[in-house]
């Protein structure tokens, strides 16, 4: 009999009943020394056959991935180090070998108890930042004053020059905006994983930073209000979603 593995968990973990699993079997816990895994038995041949049949079906894959993540999310309060969807081991001996090889993860597992991962996405808001950029640049400020006092074709030309200047300055400031956003966010959370990608932008907002943060219940209660204040303070619009299983924090940030 093979085993589908969801996550490393503390030995004190109680597998929750009544959850729909990937293979439709009962959740169980296998322990070795100071570590355990959350898993279920499955017939690998049957599952492999289903995977070969449905592997190109996005709906099937999505359903199974959602079930996998739901099992992990339900056990977050007890502490989890999640494994990716589709981790299957051939035997109980292989599961025990996995546990033996990963005893060093115990400290990391304990550090994650009571914490969840959240996604933070940050945009530079052009509506808020444009007046500030104009005021910070002498040439743009002069153009703005001139624009307010003319009409007709001259106003059109001044408006275009002003907009072109703002666009150039805004583009030049993106690295600075990103640095400010990262520094301020890092000051607010203990653990932060920045991504190379940035949020999808719009005509009014430019994505500058996307990151995963690890929060306990108290931090989660305080952070949204602080991030909401960033629009007035820095000109940054912020979105936070979650909680999620801490996939991005399985390894310590310094490792």
Instruction: Please spell the DSSP secondary structure of 129-195, one letter per residue.
Output: HHHHHHHH-HHHHHHHHHHTT--HHHHHHHHHHHHHHHHHHHHHHHHHHHHHHHHHHHHH-SEEEE-
147-204: per-residue pLDDT in tens? 566 565 666 666 677 777 778 888 899 999 999 999 999 999 989 999 999 999 998 9
Q: pLDDT tens digits, residue range 217-241?
A: 888 999 999 999 999 999 999 999 9
Q: What three-state secondary structure class fits 214?
A: strand
Q: Output the average pLDDT for the chain.
A: 88
Rounded Cα–Cα distance for residues 227 and 86 (Å): 36
Max mean pLDDT among 39-43, 105-109, 151-155, 247-251 falls in: 39-43
The domain locations on the chain are: 2-113, 116-249
More confident residue, 137 or 124: 124
pLDDT greater than 60 at residue 210? yes
Per-residue pLDDT at 142 exceeds 80:
no
Residue 144 has pLDDT above 80, yes or no: no
DSSP classification of residue 249: G
pTM score: 0.79
Predicted pLDDT of residue 253: 41
Q: Which tens digits make up the pLDDT trace of 50-83?
A: 877 877 788 988 999 999 999 999 998 888 999 9
């Amino acid at each position: 009999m093979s085993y589908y593995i969801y996550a490393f968990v503390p030995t004190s973990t109680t597998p929750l009943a009544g959850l729909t699993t990937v293979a439709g079997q009962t959740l169980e816990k296998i322990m070795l020394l100071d570590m355990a895994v959350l898993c279920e038995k499955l017939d690998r041949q049957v599952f492999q056959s289903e995977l070969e049949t449905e592997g190109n079906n996005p709906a099937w894959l999505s359903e199974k991935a959602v079930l996998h993540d739901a099992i992990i999310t339900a056990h977050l309060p007890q502490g989890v180090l999640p494994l990716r969807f589709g981790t299957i081991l051939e035997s109980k001996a292989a599961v025990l070998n996995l546990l033996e090889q990963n005893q060093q993860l115990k400290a990391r597992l304990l550090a994650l108890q009571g914490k969840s991962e959240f996604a933070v996405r940050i945009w530079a808001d052009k509506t808020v930042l444009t007046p500030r950029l104009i005021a910070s640049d002498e040439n743009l400020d002069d153009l703005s004053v001139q624009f307010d006092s003319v009409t007709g074709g001259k106003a059109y030309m001044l408006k275009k020059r002003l907009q072109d200047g703002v666009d150039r300055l805004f583009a030049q400031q993106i690295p600075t905006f990103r640095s400010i956003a990262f520094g301020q966010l890092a000051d607010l959370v203990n653990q932060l994983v920045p991504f190379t990608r940035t949020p999808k932008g719009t005509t009014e907002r430019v994505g500058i930073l996307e990151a995963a943060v690890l929060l306990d219940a108290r931090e989660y209660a305080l952070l949204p209000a602080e991030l909401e204040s960033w629009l007035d303070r820095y000109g940054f619009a912020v979105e936070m979603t979650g909680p999620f299983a801490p996939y991005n924090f399985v390894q310590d940030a310094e490792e």
